[in-house]
Each structure stands twice: as C-alpha cells, then as structure tokens.
Amino acid sequence: MEKNFEPVIVGFLCNWCSYAGADLAGVSRMQYPPNLRVIRVMCSGRVEPSFILKAFQEGADGVLISGCHIGDCHYVDGNIKTLRRTPLIKTLLSQLGVEEERFKQTWISAAEGEKFAQVVKAMVEEIKRIGPFKKQAEEESDDFDDKAYGLMIEAAVTIEGGNIDG
Amino acid sequence: MAEKIKIAIYWAAGCGGCDVAILDTNEKILDIAEAADIVLWPIAMDYKYEDLYALEQGSIDVCLFNGAVRTSEQEEMAKALRSRSKIMVAFGACAAWGGIPALANLFEREEIFKSSYLDTQTTINPEKVIPLTKCKVPEGELTLPRFYNRVWTLNQVIDVDYYVPGCPPTPETIWTAIEAIVSGNLPPKGSVIGSLKSLCDTCPREKTEKKITEFKRPYEVMIDPNKCLLEQGIICCGPVTRDGCGHRCINANMPCRGCYGPSEKVADQGAKLLSAIASIMDVKDEKGAQELAATWEDPAGTVYRFSLAKSLVFDYKKGGE
C-alpha cells in the first residue's frame, strides 16, 4: 500500500445547514484535513443511492452525507428520507463489499462548525487506516501470463496461426 | 428475402433457459429457420471450436449471445464471436446485466470454491480436490479455463450492439428482435428490445398510497391479487424494471423480480429501487428506520437480482477503460 495515502472523500452537504456548518468551520479557521470534496445539494434527501455508488465507481475512498438535524429541514421532511435510506444503504454497501467506514451520514447544523471539522477529521483517519477503496477485479491478475486457457484454445491458436483474438 | 441471414447462438455463464426460450417461439421457429441459417448453436447442434475458428471475420450476420462471462474460455469465445459477427446481441439478463450468476459477485472466488467444493453438506470430498487451471496426471498435463474473480457482463468484455432483456426473454420479445433483424429495420445501436415504460406504468393492480411497515417475503402473506404488492409489504421491482414481459409474474400473484432489467431512464436498477423503497418506509426516526430496515433479509440480492454486475460499483470494462 502507498505510504502517503490521502483518501478522496466525496461529501454531499445540504445547502441550508451542513454547507453553512462547513462554511463556519472555514470562517472560524478551524484546522481539518483537506480530503473532503464537497458537493452542495439543496437537501440531503436529494442524495440518491446511485450518487453514492457512482462516487465509488469514480474512485472515491469514502462518502459523507450530511443534512439538517431532524425537525430543522428547510423542506420539512427531506431529511426524513435521508434517515430512511441510510440503514438500507449501509446494508447494501456492506453486501457489495464496501467497508462500513467508507460511508457516513451525519446531521450538522449551521452553528456546528466544530462538529463538522471533527466529523471530517475522524472519517479521514478511519479511511487512512483501512486504505484505498479497491474495485473487485483489481484483486485478480488479469494479465494473461497464466497460460491456462484449456486445450481447445490451444488448438484454436494452431488453426488461427497464433491470433486468438481473431 | 433473397439470401438467408446467418445466425450464431452461443451460451456462456447461463442456464440454457435462453436457448430453450428460442425454441418456445413454437411454430415461429420454422419462420426463423426459413429466414436464417444457423451457423453455430452448441446446445442444439454439434459444433466444435474449430468450426467457429474456421469462419471468416464478419461472416456471421447476427450473434445471439446468452450468459455472462465468468471464465477465460467464455471471454475468448465472446471475443472470437465478436470479430466474426456484424451484429452482437446480448441475449437475456445474464449477458446484458449479469443475471443470476452475477449474484456471486457478492463473494470472492475463494469463498465460492470453498463453499462449492468443501463446505456444502451434500459434498463428499475427503481429498479436498479443488479445480486448478493446470494439473499433472500420469498421461501429461491437463488444463482448465481460468475462473475469474467476478462475473462480467458481455458489454464489459466486448462491444455489444443490442440487448434483448428477460430471464428468459419471452417468445414475443424474441420474435420482435428477430423480425427487426430479418427486416433490417433496426433501432439505434445500444437499444434494448422492449418497452420504454416501466412495469408499474402498465400494471393493472390497484394502487393507493404506499406505506411499508414491515418487509415481508411472498410466502409469509396471503397476497391480495388486486392490490399493489408494495402496499402489501412485498418488494416488487416494478417501479424500476422495463415493461415488455407481459406481466407474467404479477399475473401469477408474485412480485416482479426485475428480469427485464432497468427501465429506459434508470442507470442503476438496484440503487434506484432501494431509493424508491426507502421513500415508502413508514418511519420518522432513526431507530425506527434501523429496525424496519433490519426486517429486510437481503437488500442487495433483492434489488440487484438480475443486474448486480451492472451495479455502478461493479460497472467498468474488463481490463480498464
């Protein structure tokens, strides 16, 4: 594994609370690791499970979703949708072989800059510990030095004069 | 038609049901035979690898490829058929999205071998024999194709022109596809032969406001044949699945399992269904959501029953972009 592994974490922050919370952390000059790539969404309830999977497909090492505290949603019950999805997504990701540390969902209000900094710090530390996200196929050696194609393929090679790809 | 078109039908990691489905077109199979010459069909006729390799590049008009790609032999055959076929059709759910075999992507190769050859109760294997790609015997060296670490869809391995959905495709769908091919009246490349609507769109069941208070499996309830299955707590893949199957499952009072794949505007069938289900869960607090989610036995296996290999986490070309 690389020694100086810097994880890439995609953060979906809601416009009304968590994004403002992140802003507060910045304005207050709080120190936290720069590994979070923030995507501002109007509501945490807008974040579909496909977005999370897409982030991992594109090479993210972790995904953070943060919205307003329950009861504070700008759209009344947008974050209720988030809280319903979260346990299902957690189960789905663990079944798909994505470690649980890679997905986190929190509630951060506009006043909680300090909490935001802590959440990011803790998440970066955890992901640094477990290492980069690996796609399933990378485990397998896809080089063809293992020439175990089977006899029939060898026969085919003879017919084709060495060009098995046709 | 003056000249018959040349069709090849091949199977890889599949069950053979797609081949049988072609025969299920009943008397229309004779029309197919009239319009087309079958140049390769291992399940029905005697063909050897040499027969395929003897064919020239581009000499096959259409290849109907069913089954996913799990071994090196299947990948080689897919590539050999691609170079010899003008049109490549991913035929059936396995070739298109991985199908049932792709559910094995939830496990590592080693786990699969251990379970299949050592752990299952019906297995008697005291010498702990596990298949290897090479094996020395007194007569010489024996080889087997490599078993990949995961299941690949056909379009993750080769370029695919059309998709015929279904597990297996219904005779009507097959006939539509064959007619389009024979008449030369083909849709744009990359099209799926099927409806543009979702199954829910055409479902005749009565739909009111949906709320799930407990996830149930079909055997646990007496299913009301006139009411939406989701409203009865049963997970139905209708909202995200392509229509075109003729409602076979829901007419038999069973939920849609999603074999016609994602509907037109859906990229990731499972993730979309998970989202849809979450929005009808009848809970308002975190504890309730966790408890309710825990009653769902196998989310990944349910939402991705036929499309796991195309889940965004698994969807990339074999051997890099």
Q: Are residues B211 and B142 in the same domain?
A: no
Cross-chain residue pair B316–A57, CB shorter than 8 Å: yes
Q: Are residues B42 and B178 in the same domain?
A: yes
The predicted model gives B195-213 an average pLDDT of 91
What is the rounded average pLDDT for all residues in chain B?
A: 91
For the stretch A2-12, pLDDT in tens is 678 999 999 99
In a domain, B96, yes or no: yes
Instruction: Give the pLDDT band (50/70/90) at residue A156.
Output: very low
Q: Are residues B289 and B226 in the same domain?
A: yes
In a domain, B76, yes or no: yes
What's the confidence (pLDDT) of residue A40?
A: 97
Q: Are residues B14 and B131 in the same domain?
A: no
Out of A84, A140, A159, closest to residue B149 by CB: A140
Q: Are residues B162 and B206 in the same domain?
A: no
In a domain, B41, yes or no: yes
In a domain, B194, yes or no: no
Task: With beta carbons less than 8 A apart as the criterion, state whether B62 and B56 touch.
Answer: no
Interface of B with A in 112-141 (CB under 8 A): 133-134
Q: How far apart are CA B92 and CA B95, in angstroms?
A: 6
What's the confidence (pLDDT) of residue A136?
A: 67
The residue type at B261: G
Entry pTM: 0.87
Task: With beta carbons less than 8 A apart as the criterion, state whether B205 and B250 touch.
Answer: yes
**Domain region containing B114:** 103-148
Q: Are residues B71 and B166 in the same domain?
A: yes
Q: Is A15 exposed, middle or buried (0-12, 13-18, 19+ CB in 10 A)?
A: middle
Cross-chain residue pair B296–A57, CB shorter than 8 Å: no
| 3-state secondary structure at position B284 | coil
Q: Are residues B143 and B64 in the same domain?
A: no
The predicted model gives A36-62 an average pLDDT of 95
What's the confidence (pLDDT) of residue A54?
A: 95
Q: Are residues B295 and B284 in the same domain?
A: yes
Say if residue A164's pLDDT is above 60. Answer: no
Alpha carbons within 13 A on the beta-carbon side of A21: 27
What's the confidence (pLDDT) of residue A160?
A: 42
| 3-state secondary structure at position A104 | strand
Give contacts of A157 with chain B, Cβ < 8 Å. none
**Can you list the domains of chain A with their CATH numbers?**
9-135 (3.40.50)
Q: Are residues B167 and B58 in the same domain?
A: yes
Task: Please give the residue of chain A at the shortest CA–CA distance from B52.
Answer: A156
Q: Are residues B17 and B166 in the same domain?
A: yes
Cross-chain residue pair A137–B294, CB shorter than 8 Å: no
In a domain, B321, yes or no: no
The predicted model gives A46-61 an average pLDDT of 95
What's the confidence (pLDDT) of residue A144?
A: 37
Cross-chain residue pair B313–A89, CB shorter than 8 Å: no
Q: Are residues B306 and B271 in the same domain?
A: yes
For the stretch B173-199, pLDDT in tens is 998 998 888 888 889 999 998 889 999
Q: Are residues B18 and B161 in the same domain?
A: yes
User: What ipTM score was computed for the predicted complex, to two decimals?
Assistant: 0.90
CATH of the domain at B163: 3.40.50.700
Q: What is the token pair recorded at A112?
A: 């909680």
Instruction: Give the pLDDT band (50/70/90) at residue B29.
Output: confident
Closest among A103, A66, A74, A165 to B158, alpha carbons compared: A165
Cross-chain residue pair A56–B80, CB shorter than 8 Å: no
What's the confidence (pLDDT) of residue A155?
A: 39
Task: With beta carbons less than 8 A apart as the criterion, state whether B92 and B67 touch.
Answer: yes
For the stretch A65-114, pLDDT in tens is 999 999 999 999 999 999 999 999 999 999 999 999 999 999 999 999 99
Instruction: Give the pLDDT band (50/70/90) at residue B295.
Output: very high
What's the confidence (pLDDT) of residue A14?
A: 96
In a domain, B319, yes or no: no
Task: With beta carbons less than 8 A apart as the criterion, state whether A40 and A72 touch.
Answer: no
- Whether A134 has its CB under 8 Å from any CB of chain B: the answer is no
Q: What is the token pair recorded at B34?
A: 């009239």
How many domains does one find in chain B? 3
Most A CBs within 10 Å: which of B55, B82, B146, as the mutation test of the A interface?
B146
Give contacts of A160 with chain B, Cβ < 8 Å. 53
Give contacts of B282 with chain A, Cβ < 8 Å. none
For the stretch B64-117, pLDDT in tens is 999 999 999 999 999 999 999 999 999 999 999 999 999 999 998 888 988 999
In a domain, B316, yes or no: no
Out of A53, A88, A156, closest to residue B53 by CB: A156
CB pairs under 8 A between A and B: 152
In a domain, B245, yes or no: yes
Q: Which residue has the higher pLDDT, B276 or A150?
A: B276
